[in-house]
Chain A
Amino acid sequence: MRCLLKRAFFYLTVIVAFSTHEGAAAKMSTYYLPKSVGAWTRPDSAQKIDSTNIFKYMNGAGELYLSYRFIRLEVYEYTADNEESILVELYYMKTSDDAFGLLSLDWGGEPVTFDHSPVSKASRTIAPPNSALYGKGLLRIWSDNIYARVMAERETPVSREAVLSLGRAIVANRKNPSEPKLLDIFPHTIGSDWKLRGDRIGYFRSYLVLNSLYYLSHQNILNLDLSTEAVAAPYEKITDNEDHKRIQFLFVKYADSAQAQQALDHFHKTYLPEHKKDFGAGSMSASPNFFKIEDGWLGYKLHGPCIALVFECPDKRSARMFIKQIQFNLIKIEDNHAK
Chain B
Amino acid sequence: MPNKQGLITRRDFIRGTIGATLATSMFGVKWAMADEKAVRSSLVTVVRDKNVMDANFAVDFKVYQKMLEQTMIQFTGKNNSKDAWSSIIKPEDTVGLVSTEHLNPTHDELVYAVKIALMDIGVPKKKIKMAQGSHRRARACTALIALPALKAHWLTGIGTVLKNYITYSGSPSYYHEGNSSKLGEIWHLPHVKGKTKLILVDALYPLCDKGPQPDPRYKWAYNGLIAGTDPVAVETVCLKIITEKRKAIRGEPWPLSPPPICVEAADKVYGLGTSRMEEIKIEHYGWEQGLLL
A interface residues (Cβ-Cβ under 8 A, vs B) = 58-61, 63-64, 106, 108-109, 135-138, 149, 151, 154-155, 208, 211-219, 221, 244, 270-271, 273-274, 293-295
B56 at the interface (CB under 8 A from A): yes
- 4 additional A-B pairs beyond A221-B7, A273-B3, beta carbons within 8 Å, are A60-B102, A215-B258, A271-B9, A274-B1
- Interface size of B by Cβ–Cβ distance < 8 Å? 39
**Are the C-beta atoms of A217 and B211 separated by less than 8 Å?**
no
Q: Say which residue of A58, A151, A294 sits within 8 Å of B216 (CB atoms).
A: A151
CB distance from A199 to the nearest CB of B (A): 10
Chain B, residues 172-195, CB within 8 Å of chain A (1/0): the string is 110011111100000000000000
**Are the C-beta atoms of B10 and A217 separated by less than 8 Å?**
yes
Q: Say which residue of B153, B177, B213, B261 sits within 8 Å of A208 (CB atoms).
A: B177
**Are the C-beta atoms of A270 and B211 separated by less than 8 Å?**
no
**Are the C-beta atoms of B10 and A219 separated by less than 8 Å?**
no
Q: For residue A154, which residue of chain B has the nearest CB?
A: B56
**Are the C-beta atoms of B257 and A212 separated by less than 8 Å?**
yes
User: Chain A residues with Cβ under 8 A from B9's Cβ?
Assistant: 216-217, 221, 270-271
Q: Could you name 24 residue pairs across A and B whose Cβ atoms are closer than 8 Å?
A: A58-B212, A60-B102, A60-B154, A60-B173, A61-B103, A106-B209, A138-B216, A138-B217, A149-B213, A151-B216, A211-B258, A212-B258, A214-B257, A215-B10, A216-B10, A217-B7, A217-B8, A217-B10, A218-B180, A219-B7, A219-B8, A219-B178, A244-B252, A295-B10
Known A136-B217, A214-B257, A294-B11; contact A60-B5, beta-carbon cutoff 8 A: no
Chain B, residues 3-26, CB within 8 Å of chain A (1/0): the string is 111011111011100000000000
B210 at the interface (CB under 8 A from A): yes
B interface residues (Cβ-Cβ under 8 A, vs A) = 1, 3-5, 7-11, 13-15, 56, 102-103, 153-155, 172-173, 176-181, 209-213, 215-217, 252, 257-259, 261
Q: How far is the CA of A217 from the CA of B154 in the complex (A)?
A: 14
User: Chain B residues with Cβ under 8 A from A58's Cβ?
Assistant: 212-213
Q: How far is the CA of A244 from the CA of B250 in the complex (A)?
A: 14
User: Chain A residues with Cβ under 8 A from B7's Cβ?
Assistant: 217-219, 221, 270
**Are the C-beta atoms of B154 and A61 separated by less than 8 Å?**
yes
Q: For residue B216, which residue of chain A has the nearest CB?
A: A136
Q: For residue B177, which residue of chain A has the nearest CB?
A: A218
User: Chain A residues with Cβ under 8 A from B10's Cβ?
Assistant: 215-217, 295
Known A214-B257, A219-B178, A270-B7; contact A137-B155, beta-carbon cutoff 8 A: no
